[in-house]
Amino acid sequence: MQKINTQIFKPSMPKQLIFSSMLWLAIVSGALLFAPVGILTSVHLEAAVSANSHFIGLGFIIGIAYLITQVVNYFLDEAISALKIKRTTEIIEEKVRLLDPTERALLREFFLQGETVLTLPQNEPAVKSLLATSIIELLGNQKNYAIQGSTSDYKISMRARIYLNRQVLRLPVGEPSQEEMKNLIKARPTFANNVTTPRKHAA
């Protein structure tokens, strides 16, 4: 409910002026329509209101109708957003269950290197697949290289992190042994050594 209070009545520009105008139109016209006759008479508005009651009523209807549409639109947007989040979560859960060896090895790189952001080749099938299923997110910083093609910075999405534990990524529990480390290095993606170099010269 707090979110409703902060978002419905604080629309972003450039609609803020229209929203404020309609809000005041509804308030003022409603006050004139429903104010006791005694009050209108005391401020010398009773005759003016009587003569223009149809215009005031029309203004009240327009203002209220606009405000109602804004409230309805807000709840529709919230419902659509909730459905998108639910669908994205379902896609992530399904994808995590069906990771292939290359995709799993790519995700392990974030943990093996202790980095939240890695530079990865955009055209790599594993990168495309994980991006399409919202496991990783594109941060930008695109660069083009003569041999390796285009690369960009990526990170694991917040929604996917809760599903990527050691068991899913097949990481050893605790400090890996020498044999386990050899197996992890052997299973690294073929492009891992190239994309993690700190500095490269763009073509």
Q: Where are the domains of the chain?
A: 2-97, 101-195
Q: Which pTM was predicted?
A: 0.64
Confidence (pLDDT) at 130: 94
Long-range contacts of 141-150 (CB under 8 A, 24+ apart): 143/119, 143/200, 143/202, 144/202, 144/203, 145/200, 145/201, 145/202, 145/203, 146/203, 147/203, 148/121, 148/191, 148/194, 148/195, 148/200, 149/121, 149/122, 149/123, 150/121, 150/122, 150/123
The 10s digit of each residue's pLDDT in 65-91 is 999 999 999 999 999 999 999 999 999
DSSP 127-161: HHHHHHTTSEEEEEEEEEETTTEEEEEEEE-HHHH
Best CA proximity match to 124, nearest among 134, 114, 113, 132: 132
Tell me the mean pLDDT in the region 176-183.
78
The 10s digit of each residue's pLDDT in 27-52 is 999 888 888 888 878 887 888 888 88
Tell me the mean pLDDT in the region 147-154.
81
* DSSP letter assigned to residue 43: T
Distance CA 71, CA 14 (A): 17
